[in-house]
Structure 1
Amino acid sequence: MSFPDCPVIVRMLDEFPLSTESDPKDWVGLIPHHFAYRVEGDPLYGAQSETWRLVEGSPTHYRFMTGAGCLDIITCGEPHFALIDN
């Protein structure tokens, strides 16, 4: 996965801390067997500098859930995925 030509803010953690950031009744849009989401209204996005968000042109918050892990990315770019052979 890459975000060509765009700066990114990255946060990696396991899923447990996510359950303490917001009320479970506010969790909307989770789909079984999906791992990539666009996120709105998350505390991580709100904690970023308003100036950075303006300079970057309204970046988007993406969340990638893998097993018990979570990768949050805030960027102005769109994700590009590639399969890599070992």
Structure 2
Amino acid sequence: MSTRAVLRFVSWTSHPDRREDAPPVMHQMVCRTIGCPDRESEPDPDFEVVRDWSMKHSGRHPAHREFLETIVRPWRNDPPEGVVPA
């Protein structure tokens, strides 16, 4: 009895997942001021919501002017069309 395997190398693609049922892209702002008590916005799919949060935050704390934007984007890896992964 012998075992045989057929291996085939194919090029997969990696891309943002834009399928209808994919999770939404989420944005969040983080204040870079050390010791800031309310330093993170809530994550939101609408960038304008988190940008507005950063503007209001700077209005409450005029010295807080630097932020980091965090983006969570769903990605997907797919084999070439017609190739069924084992």
TM-score when scaled to structure 1? 0.22
Greater relative contact order (Cα < 8 A, sep 6+): 1
Structure with bigger gyration radius:
2
Higher helix share: 1
